[in-house]
Amino acid sequence: MELEENSIEIDMKGEMKLRQPLLVKNRRNHTSQHAIVGANICPIESLDYEIIENDLFKQDWRSRTRVEILQYVSLKWTLVLLIGLSTGLVGFFNNLAVENIAGFKLFLTNNLMLQEKYYRAFAAFACCNMVLAAVAAALCAYISPAAAGSGIPEVKAYLNGVDAHSILAPSTLFVKIFGSVFGVAAGFVVGKEGPMVHTGACIASLFGQGGSRKYHLTWKCLRYFKNDRDRRDLITCGAAAGVAAAFRAPVGGVLFALEEAASWWRSALLWRAFFTTAVVAVLLRGFIEFCKGGKCGLFGEGGLIMFDVSSAKVAYSSTDLLAVISVGAIGGILGSLYNFLVDKVLRTRGPSCKILLAVTISLLTSCCSYGLPWLSPCIPCPRRLEDHCPTIGRSGNYKNFQCPPKHYNGLASLFFSTNDDAIRNLLSSSSDGEFHLSTLFGFFVAVYCLGIVTYGIAVPSGLFIPVIIAGSSYGRLVGTLLGSHCELDAGLFSLLGAASFLGGTMRTTVSLCVILLELTNNLLMLPLMMLVLLISKSVADCFNKGVYDQIVKMKGLPYMEAHSEPYMRHLVASDVLSGPLVSFSGVEKVGNILHALKTRAHNGFPVIDEPPFSNAAELCGLVLRSHLLVLLKEKKFTKLRVLMGSADLMDRFKAHDFGKAGLGKGVRLEDLDIEEEEMEMYIDLHPITNTSPYTVVETMSLAKAAIFFRELGLRHLLVVPKTPGKPPVVGILTRHDFMAEHILGLYPHFNPHE
Amino acid sequence: MELEENSIEIDMKGEMKLRQPLLVKNRRNHTSQHAIVGANICPIESLDYEIIENDLFKQDWRSRTRVEILQYVSLKWTLVLLIGLSTGLVGFFNNLAVENIAGFKLFLTNNLMLQEKYYRAFAAFACCNMVLAAVAAALCAYISPAAAGSGIPEVKAYLNGVDAHSILAPSTLFVKIFGSVFGVAAGFVVGKEGPMVHTGACIASLFGQGGSRKYHLTWKCLRYFKNDRDRRDLITCGAAAGVAAAFRAPVGGVLFALEEAASWWRSALLWRAFFTTAVVAVLLRGFIEFCKGGKCGLFGEGGLIMFDVSSAKVAYSSTDLLAVISVGAIGGILGSLYNFLVDKVLRTRGPSCKILLAVTISLLTSCCSYGLPWLSPCIPCPRRLEDHCPTIGRSGNYKNFQCPPKHYNGLASLFFSTNDDAIRNLLSSSSDGEFHLSTLFGFFVAVYCLGIVTYGIAVPSGLFIPVIIAGSSYGRLVGTLLGSHCELDAGLFSLLGAASFLGGTMRTTVSLCVILLELTNNLLMLPLMMLVLLISKSVADCFNKGVYDQIVKMKGLPYMEAHSEPYMRHLVASDVLSGPLVSFSGVEKVGNILHALKTRAHNGFPVIDEPPFSNAAELCGLVLRSHLLVLLKEKKFTKLRVLMGSADLMDRFKAHDFGKAGLGKGVRLEDLDIEEEEMEMYIDLHPITNTSPYTVVETMSLAKAAIFFRELGLRHLLVVPKTPGKPPVVGILTRHDFMAEHILGLYPHFNPHE
């Protein structure tokens, strides 16, 4: 940064290529233009949600015929349908693969145990896990580091307007799918929902690329999708489809996408997301119907309801409410502690030895899963369940493990199965008294800690399932503790415990409520569940932010909050501007443009009309770097400083030539090949200048400007002077200028916590 | 309007009190400043959601201490809690009153019928109905005409930024509660959910008034709520609480408020609305517990689930899907026909004879309810149900009516009970074959037509229940027709029919889905329900708009859509400006201000600084009518044209003196008492001028400006010239300038349907 600044000053003094900047301020924005995506540091860029009203676009916009609009609308629905179908398919495949791989692993171990070859059983178990873990980590490390972690923070940041090349790349999609399958099958305490959200978003991004020249997929209609607004809509639908496929919760998926992931909502978007998740639901229902009778292994057990607790009777007295309230409050505290610890662990972890770390943690997990049950006593099977107890070689409660016949090992029932089965066992209400207090306590502590250390290893790892497992074991623990003092049974307490943990970590409300309903099919629990969510969220909000918000911040993604900070009220827009501002004249020298593009990282430049093209200096608009590059590539220069008009340009260009290509796909600076004599020629920027950029007056309070910026989803916000003067623009506000680090760096006396 | 215009011109020529308007255009905005609220025409006004950054406000904003912010936040939560509690209480009372009044009425009639006094039974039945109808209509006609109808369109318009004094007045609240009770008890085919939404909004508005000077409720903290932004949030929560209380559907309530009612969503608002409805749910759960064992009559049957169908087995083959799809498609067509007919009926109905109309329709309803069952044959009770059939003198299926013992009258089971019971009968799956085809057909036609003619009489009348009844009888009809060709039973078809009708009329998706789930407690139906909603909404969208949107339009409420119309792309902002523009100087003569306030209906005036206060004419900001009135009332004038500064003013005023009072409560023009010599004195407008109003350049396309206006929820949008010139403002855009009637009036060659 410093180096760049010097080189410009030398340039200015030496060759004076660059016009004197309008605003030379010592002030610089030092916030990073890089952030952690997945496991690697990447350059980031803002997205353009603004309608870029330049001549070419307006021409295209106005001339759209009815047929073209119809094409656009029907294509958008088609894409959404395809997104739903693909995400549903991936969800099905994911489920199937995990169930079968994990099933084979457990079957193998179980067989060895039945032969009483306990060490060999452990070796087989641990080896399977470690190999799977190593493959998942290797995929992440060597193919796409962006696929590590949950993916929800990245999707959230993307939908807030921050892009990085790798967030939604095809390679990320590939690794996310297979990495998640191997990671979950390896027995890690991780879930597949976060990765499914990311997968859905990647699929949507793939469909929303507007065709591909490389593969000759340039159907004319696809060009309408070459803009960030339409892509945003598609990706929101993709995220919704991801949740819907992971949890088989279509309505919850829509709500999760809107409450947690998306930054801008519209009713039309809700409707479209609903359509996508309905497609997923119908598809999954079809697969489940198809798989009936064990054709696909364990897939589809429980139908669309993954953890059915509808059989449980819900009756509670007002005294039970007290217990429920304390479950919520303690769950909130534990949830916020979880967030705190996840954050701490993520921050201490270096970028090196990704595979080794994954293998180590896999070994630790194997030790816990296989070792801890040995500490648990063998319990005789209850009389009434002699047919079902113990279960050997199939999923279900009452695992036999090392116990003699007609006995079962409580801890093994939880540890020695897939995460989904463990949750099912914890929530089931038919098994009152199955788990002893010590069993539940041991399981809770182990899972809570494993969940924390596991998140953030270089494997696609969702946070939902770890939190639900820890929460439901905590709830069941409380339920068992209270025993007969309470009318609610332990299974329902387990559900409430899961709700309290989710509320305490995720901090969403409506979507969690609906997801839990769709998972458990017990509407009668709704008032209690709402109460628990309310309390746990309120309690946890006293300590820290939601886990995704924390991770977004930790990763350095410049997320725009929906509200302004109190200290912004004391500042005005011009207080945080950083200079120097580089602007172009309406008809500008090619050399100047090229120089600015080379030496500045800015993506938008104000265009100022000056005499003889206007009476006085006036703001013509804003021009984007990407548009300048396309224009320069065509080399339509003039010797003299004259207006060229847009008619001429329109013959050469179509509006979609300026459509936004996927990140890294547009014209790059290195692609230009401008010769020395052309540097002194002129080019008319008017046809590609957005003539109605959003402006605010320099005296607007920063708080108001921040809300303005956020609500309209801007990338550049021009600041104009209060008093009409020579320079018609004072500066440009970008996302980075609203970040706390920048503002508090300039004005350290403000207290951000006030 | 015309008269006013003349008087101004005479004024200008005669006394020249008014400065020459900056922009004298012949163009006028002729859109009405009045709209139909409930049953009467009222003047309407826009709401101020913008942060009015004047000196006084900024001072107040910045000086808020931590304690004050904490007070504000905790008070907001307290208010939301109170809203939830009050709405829950009203919902409980409403239910109780309806069940008991209607129960008494049916009991009376039944007794007379058992004595075979059929004519007297009819007389008693019809008289009860007509008296109740007359009382409800009289309440509406004489106390608050704004309470007529559903209320959802009015709440929707309010949350979009359109206010009318009576929309949320206390008298409206009173009439809405009692009118709805009497209307529903009178046996009209109307529901109580629309009125409950309106009731919730009224309660929220009452709490959000920021105290009342009249009743000495001016607690200091309440002043923070004297603005439209906070009121909007509270009223959204109130609307959510209303749905939650009416349907006992807390999550559905939140989603309905956000999807249908609210125009602006924020995650924080979602969370607050969720809290409100959770309070309602917990409260209702408590009441139901309390009422167990018949303490409160029929209230609370079914607990929180009003129409439980969870017992029904859901199994369907792919051939059944075909039937379901056609149910959705035909339901969509019938739903859009319903909208069309409701609109037609509303438009033909004059404003006169409200009570007579209500009584006539009541008589018609009574004739249908009592008369049509006579046409239905008596059916012998099924063997297996001898204990439950026929039911005499209590709610339930298998009404005896005029039939001999051990026989029942199918049509009477539907007609001769409350609407809720009719729905319960239609949805119940244990009663396959209870209703004959002819019975269902007759009921469907009667209810469909009655629903259409009843809506819009001067009685609080919700649309949900009529649509659900008609839809479920349609669905049951189809289910019975298909009979054994289909695996799904008639009760589930009934549910799908209701979903298809709701989708076809309301056109919301996610919220309907959740509401239906919460009403019926059958999550296994979710994929089918989503499918039906999707299809019916898509089909119906081909014909017309949703019923609430239609009514909003019919009532003339200037609703800002979230999207721009295609013809707006061809226009720029200055094309729709209407003149003349009245502006003030920074230090203005009192007489000029007074004259402008008297002769213009505008609510915002640009303030322009001129020499000697600035070097050239420059835009200082925007001043609001309400602020001017408060300032003028204080009579802080100066003899000379000098700046007074805000320090002096701040001693006299507190920021909350300028806080927005409830409609009709602020200082009025008539309250001012300015003497002749004071007219020639000056007043400094700087301290109350919003110095950072939102501006757009005159060349911005109208489409972009419309989205800008809508997303930020503006009332005034200043249009500035492209080229810096003498007048720094070209005009002001308001909500009315974006209305299709205005734009298409100016440019009739645009086709709005293209």
- Shortest distance between the Cα of B665 and any Cα of chain A, in A, equals 28
CB-count burial class (<10 Å; 0-12, 13-18, 19+) for A533: buried
B724 touching A (Cβ < 8 Å): yes
Three-class DSSP category at A359: helix
- Shortest distance between the Cα of B3 and any Cα of chain A, in A, equals 38
Q: What is the pLDDT of residues B52-75, one digit of tens each?
A: 888 888 888 778 788 888 888 899
Pick among B514, B607, B707 to test the A interface (most A CBs inside 10 A): B514
From the options 3.30.420.80, 3.30.470.20, 3.10.580.10, 3.40.50.300, give the CATH code of A563-746. 3.10.580.10
Q: Which of B251, B275, B615 sits opposite A723 (nearest CB)?
A: B615
* ipTM, 2 dp: 0.90
| A692-708 as b/e: b if 16+ CB within 10 A | bbbbbbbebbbbbbbbb
Higher pLDDT, B569 or B28: B569
Pick among A233, A530, A720 to test the B interface (most B CBs inside 10 A): A530
Q: What is the pLDDT of residues B734-745, one digit of tens each?
A: 999 999 999 998
* Chain B, nearest residue to A280 by Cα: B527
A250 touching B (Cβ < 8 Å): yes
pLDDT at A475: 94
Measured in Å, how far apart are chain B's first and last C-alpha atoms?
33
Judge if the upstream peptide bond of residue A612 is cis by omega within 30 degrees of 0: yes
- CB-CB neighbors (< 8 A) of B694 in chain A: 696, 708
- Shortest distance between the Cα of A343 and any Cα of chain B, in A, equals 23
User: CB B53 to CB A259 under 8 A?
Assistant: no
Written as six digits, the tokens of B357 are 């109309």
- CB-CB neighbors (< 8 A) of B277 in chain A: 530
How far apart, in whole angstroms, are the C-alpha atoms of residue B472 and residue B479? 10
Kind and range of the H or E run holding A141: none
Question: Looking at the domain covering B66-291, what would its CATH class be?
Answer: mainly alpha
For residue B467, name the pLDDT band (cuts at 50, 70, 90): very high
| Nearest residue to A646 via CA among A663, A664, A661, A631 | A631
Report how far apart, in Å, the C-alpha atoms of A287 and of each of A142, A178, A200, A306, B187 are. 34, 20, 18, 14, 47
A393 touching B (Cβ < 8 Å): no
* Chain B, nearest residue to A503 by Cα: B271
How far apart, in whole angstroms, are the C-alpha atoms of residue B462 and residue B466? 8
| Nearest residue to A290 via CA among B317, B83, B388 | B317
Q: Which of B271, B274, B704 sits opposite A53 (nearest CB)?
A: B704
A322 touching B (Cβ < 8 Å): no
- Mean pLDDT confidence for B691-716: 93
User: CB A526 to CB B304 under 8 A?
Assistant: yes
* Chain A, nearest residue to B302 by Cα: A524
A517 touching B (Cβ < 8 Å): yes
Q: Which fold has domain B318-362+419-554?
A: Clc chloride channel (1.10.3080)
How far apart, in whole angstroms, are the C-alpha atoms of residue A561 and residue A538? 19
How far apart, in whole angstroms, are the C-alpha atoms of residue B302 and residue B323? 30
Q: What is the pLDDT of residues B148-184, one digit of tens each?
A: 889 999 999 999 999 988 888 889 999 999 999 999 9
pLDDT at A663: 61
- CB-CB neighbors (< 8 A) of B616 in chain A: 723-724
B107 touching A (Cβ < 8 Å): no
Q: Going edge to edge, which strands form the sheet with A731-733?
A: A695-697, A717-720, A731-733
- CB-CB neighbors (< 8 A) of A278 in chain B: 527, 530-531, 534
User: CB A700 to CB B53 under 8 A?
Assistant: yes
How far apart, in whole angstroms, are the C-alpha atoms of residue A91 and residue A244? 9
In chain B, what percentage of residues exceed pLDDT 70?
90
- CB-CB neighbors (< 8 A) of A697 in chain B: 691-692, 695
Pairing of strands A407-409, B162-164: unpaired
Beta-bridge mates of residue A37: A40
For chain A, the structural domain boundaries read: 66-291, 563-746
Beta-bridge mates of residue B609: B618
Over 60: is that where the pLDDT of B649 sits?
Answer: yes
Q: Which of B250, B255, B692 sits opposite A530 (nearest CB)?
A: B250
Written as six digits, the tokens of B317 are 């083959």
CB-count burial class (<10 Å; 0-12, 13-18, 19+) for A603: middle
How far apart, in whole angstroms, are the C-alpha atoms of residue A543 and residue A412? 35
User: CB B696 to CB A697 under 8 A?
Assistant: no
pLDDT at A222: 72
Over 90: is that where the pLDDT of B428 sits?
Answer: no
Written as six digits, the tokens of B527 are 């994929």
Q: Which of A509, A514, A531 sits opposite B282 (nearest CB)?
A: A531
Contact A278, B527 (CB under 8 A): yes
Domains B66-291 and B318-362+419-554 share a fold: yes
Higher pLDDT, B367 or B393: B367
- Shortest distance between the Cα of B597 and any Cα of chain A, in A, equals 27
* Successive 10-residue mean pLDDT values, chain A, 754 residues: 35 38 61 84 89 84 82 91 96 89 88 88 94 94 90 94 88 94 93 93 87 62 81 95 92 92 86 93 86 65 68 76 93 96 86 85 93 86 71 66 82 86 84 80 94 90 93 93 82 93 93 91 87 94 93 92 89 88 91 92 90 86 92 86 77 76 76 87 91 93 94 93 84 93 90 66
User: CB B723 to CB A615 under 8 A?
Assistant: yes
pLDDT at B418: 84
In chain B, what percentage of residues exceed pLDDT 90?
44
How far apart, in whole angstroms, are the C-alpha atoms of residue A421 and residue A469? 10
Report how far apart, in Å, the C-alpha atoms of B520 and of each of A711, B428, B508, B523 are. 38, 10, 18, 9
- Shortest distance between the Cα of B146 and any Cα of chain A, in A, equals 27
Beta-bridge mates of residue A720: A697
Written as six digits, the tokens of A12 are 């200015």
- Mean pLDDT confidence for B518-546: 91
Q: For helices A118-138 and A66-114, give the axis angle rounded to 10 degrees.
A: 160
- Shortest distance between the Cα of B434 and any Cα of chain A, in A, equals 28
